[in-house]
A and B are shown apart, each in its own frame.
Chain A
Amino acid sequence: MPDILFEKSFQINKKDFVHAGEASISAKNLLKSLQMDAGMIRRASICAYEGEMNVVMHGGEGHLALAIEKNRIILEISDNGPGIADTEMAMKKGFSTASDKFRELGFGAGMGLPNMKKNADEFELSSRLGEGTRVRMAFFTDAAV
């Protein structure tokens, strides 16, 4: 097992749309301060933000957790919200249950999960109805591949 250099967890508050995205910005700044590979930071930050927005728009109380290794970032975003009834459907581009309120604010195009899958080197979505949702992603340095 590679050594973990750094672990950090950020709280994501339920329904707190105004502050939604702050955890991801903090995560991005942390990765930058650790001088991780720029391409990897960009991909991980976008995924963190998409995931955080999902927790606030669709999920419940949640966390964004980072485990940073020398050449790898593990990002896990989990919440105790309603869960996803059909994960295959949720992964489809364009599928969204977002309310009009979020659509007016520029979200709800049904692009978040597919975009996370595209940007991550490893992607795993798991959800149980009534219990919550977890997205676990891994990113490798662009140089390492």
Chain B
Amino acid sequence: MCIIRKTAHEFSYGFPMHCNGIEYKNMKLREIQDILDASLIIGEAHLDREVHTCGASDLMSDILARLAEDCVFLTGLTTVHAVRTAAISGVGAVVFVRNKIPPEDVIAMAKEEEIPLFTSPYSMFVSCGRLHAKGLTGLNGDR
């Protein structure tokens, strides 16, 4: 039997707060939709929801291992796990890049979890560039 225990000095109580002197630009989902020329797939009722940061990845651990709460999550993966990962991490909205549209069951799950889904014609690179240009920061507040 092999056991690993966390030692006292490794304890971390919660996440660091966003407080490193950076002005965080909050953005409404309808602004993001506009900036990305995106179409809404589902989530009409939440267009006034605000997001604070942006995370872009096709790797689920990039979202899970970072402070993704209330972010907009850009991805090229339209799997059920992209949306489950978003739900678990508390992301504010998911944007699928390059006109990708997820299957029906994925849309149904997003509806249930109240996560708005968008699809943007732009690539991941261009989508990120457009949001960055309008002042959005990365998940850790970097610009």
Contacts and interface: CB of A to CB of B under 8 A. Distances in A.
Q: Do A and B come from one complex?
A: yes
Interface residues of A, number: 42
B4 A49 contact: no
Contacts of B125: none
Interface stretch (B24-32, B36-44, B61-69, B134-142): B61-69
A49 B64 contact: yes
Contacts of A42: 69, 89-90
Contacts of B79: 105-106
A111 B88 contact: no
Nearest to A135: B4
A28 B64 CA distance: 15
Interface in A30-67: 39, 42-43, 45-46, 48-50
Interface residues on B, range: 20 to 34
B64 A111 contact: yes
A88 B87 CA distance: 30
Interface in B1-52: 1-6, 10-15
Interface in B90-119: 90, 113
B141 to A, nearest CB: 18
A105 B10 CA distance: 31
Interface in A2-54: 18, 20-22, 24-25, 28, 39, 42-43, 45-46, 48-50
Interface of B: 1-6, 10-15, 58-62, 64-65, 69, 77, 79-82, 84-85, 87-90, 113
